[in-house]
Amino acid sequence: MANEDKDSVRRSARPRGKPAAEARPPGGSPARARKGSEKSATSGRSTAGNSQAGKNTAAKPKASPALAVLEAQAVTRPARRRAVANAAAAALGGAFRPWSPEEIATAFSRFEAANPHPEGELDYHDPFTLLVAVVLSAQATDVGVNKATRGLFKAAPTPQAMVALGEEGVAQHIRTLGLYRGKAKNVVELSRRLIAEHGGQVPPDRAALETLPGVGRKTANVVLNIAFGLPTIAVDTHLFRIANRTGLAPGKTPLEVELGLERTIPERFLLHAHHWLILHGRYVCKALKPDCPRCLIADLCRWPEKTPA
Ligand code: SF4
């Protein structure tokens, strides 16, 4: 890796050192599970009446026909159950009393005190390998991506090497991941585009990143945040759920939540907010069974159905 690339990366996304304090069971060892990305639930219909506004809690919404179907399927399909949980959060989130600036500052001060330097869990060496890893992480776990990229990045650590490796060569390395054929095609094509349009470098620009194959707003935000130290918020399934469930920044779409979080979170916390919230969602405020008794922000959270100790 070129030195300038190393310098441009503010920190590695590789899990190392002590994990977030709140990722530990109370008084116990660090959480073992490295659970990966879940499929995003990006919509939820608000059934909570306006009369709930201004209250700290809200009544359970009447199940819509669509939600009822999801709930029926949820019995046997964990992914669907997570989608239901996220949709329920989105349905209720807008009805909660908004957080005050003091409450928001308190919440993020606690995240900061528990984990001053939060990190993601994807392995990478530089902005290029980070971009590839994030593209590969769609509908895959970080653990699975790390296994696949170990060999891939050895064989092709640069855009030039990735193009030389070709789609078939990339596919061989990542065949354990879902949708690997399409991902291999995107990785080779985005490498070709980086060489042709950006001198082989990853551009620190959201619009430019979003024109690359396989790169959407969330991926662009992750790269801008981790590789270039920009205070972007990448809304994945965890952030979407937490923003709605807590009432911190309710929204029906990831973009709505992203803009709400950017508006709400004090500037000094913005850089790390994305990682704090992802880790919180992955290990504490989980989709199916939030661990409210050991939650750092339980007293601030508006969710009316907190799990008992
Ligand atoms: S109290 Fe429970 S629902 Fe609220 S943020 Fe914490 S874990 Fe999530």
239 Cα distance to chain centroid: 6
Q: Pick the atom of ligand 1 nearest to 291's CA.
A: 7
Query: pLDDT tens for residues 173-195?
Result: 999 998 999 999 999 999 999 99
Q: Pick the atom of ligand 1 nearest to 296's CA.
A: 6
User: d(Cα 37, Cα 284) in Å, to the nearest integer?
Assistant: 15
What is the architecture of the domain spanning 120-228? Answer: Orthogonal Bundle (1.10)
Q: Could you tell me if residue 126 is left (phi over 0), alpha (psi between -120 and 50 degrees) or otherwise beta? A: beta
Q: Report domain extents, the chain.
A: 60-117+233-294, 120-228
Q: Pick the atom of ligand 1 nearest to 301's CA.
A: 4
Give me the pLDDT at residue 52, please.
33
Cα 296 to averaged position of ligand 1 atoms, centre (Å): 8
Give me the pLDDT at residue 38, please.
36
Residue 55, helix vs strand vs coil: strand
250, 96 contact by CB (below 8 A): yes
Give me the pLDDT at residue 287, please.
92
Around ligand 1, the residues with Cβ closer than 6 Å are 245-246, 284-285, 290-292, 295, 297-298, 301, 303, 306
Pick the CATH number of 60-117+233-294 from 1.10.1670.10, 3.40.1010.10, 1.10.357.10, 2.40.50.1070: 1.10.1670.10
pLDDT < 70 positions in the chain: 1-77
Residue 33, helix vs strand vs coil: coil
Share of the chain above pLDDT 90, in %: 66
Give me the pLDDT at residue 95, please.
84
Give me the pLDDT at residue 71, please.
52
Q: What are phi and psi of 96, to 5 degrees?
A: -80, 155
Task: Output the CA torsion sign for 87, 89, 95, 100.
Answer: negative
Cα 279 to averaged position of ligand 1 atoms, centre (Å): 13
- 18 included as an active-site residue: no
- 35 included as an active-site residue: no
Question: How does 9-27 read in b/e, with b if 16+ C-beta sit within 10 Å?
Answer: beebbebeeebbebbbeee
Q: Concatenate the DSSP letters of all residues of 187-235 into one string.
A: HHHHHHHHHHHHTTS--S-HHHHHTSTT--HHHHHHHHHHHH-------
Closest to 266 (Cα-Cα) out of 280, 248, 292 = 248
Query: pLDDT tens for residues 108-161?
Result: 999 999 999 999 899 999 999 999 999 999 989 999 999 999 999 999 999 999
Give me the pLDDT at residue 25, please.
32
User: d(Cα 94, Cα 192) in Å, to the nearest integer?
Assistant: 43
Q: What is the pTM of this model?
A: 0.75
Share of the chain above pLDDT 70, in %: 75
User: d(Cα 260, Cα 38) in Å, to the nearest integer?
Assistant: 22
Amino acid in position 125: H
User: d(Cα 235, Cα 273) in Å, to the nearest integer?
Assistant: 11
Cα 48 to averaged position of ligand 1 atoms, centre (Å): 20
Rounded (10°) angle between helices 267-283 and 101-114: 70
Q: What does the mean pLDDT of the chain come to?
A: 81
